[in-house]
Amino acid sequence: METEGELRIRNSASVPPERCVFCQIVARKLPAALVYEDDAYIAFMDRSPFNEGHTLVCPKRHGETVWDMTETEIGGLFALAARISKGVIRATASDGFRFVQNNGEAANQAVAHVHVHIIPVKLEEKGKWMDRKDTTPEKLQDIAARIKTALGKF
């Protein structure tokens, strides 16, 4: 874990940027239902959502964990996630949301590229275990369009 004063987080999902799924989405080599994009960040629908509207927000620049980001970049990532969460809640008529941000394999980080999950939840789901749900690319595109529309109202 630690080498000559440097902390490292174990992640068996580590890959170089050219093999990173999220970098391939940024480069448009893989499809995604996009919600938002600017010069530094991108947001898109999770292909295996915990709930309808489950959105991922990530920096375009490859880095595995928040330790690979500057404090300014981390602030920008979470500020954007907060903004997008408003569109997610409005588009899904949810009552709340979770931010989940995993760093390393032990924390269940499945894609070794920094990202924040925005997971909308309804009051009746309070305290219940979340399982990933099946969906289709068409449903993901539909909810992404609804979130984009809702974001225009903020």
> d(Cα 30, Cα 27) in Å, to the nearest integer?
8
- The set of catalytic residues is 115
Per-residue model confidence as pLDDT tens digits over 43-66: 999 999 999 999 999 999 999 999
Question: CA-CA distance, 66 to 47, in Å (whole number)?
Answer: 22
Residues 25, 119: contact at Cβ < 8 Å?
A: no
User: Which range of residues forms the domain containing residue 35?
Assistant: 2-151
Confidence of residue 2 (pLDDT cuts 50, 70, 90): very low
Q: What count of other Cβ atoms lies within 10 Å of the Cβ of residue 56?
A: 24
d(CA 92, CA 143): 8
Q: What CATH number does the domain containing 68 carry? A: 3.30.428.10
Domain count, the chain: 1
Task: Give the list of residues 6+ apart from residue 108 with CB closer than 8 angstroms, or none.
Answer: 102
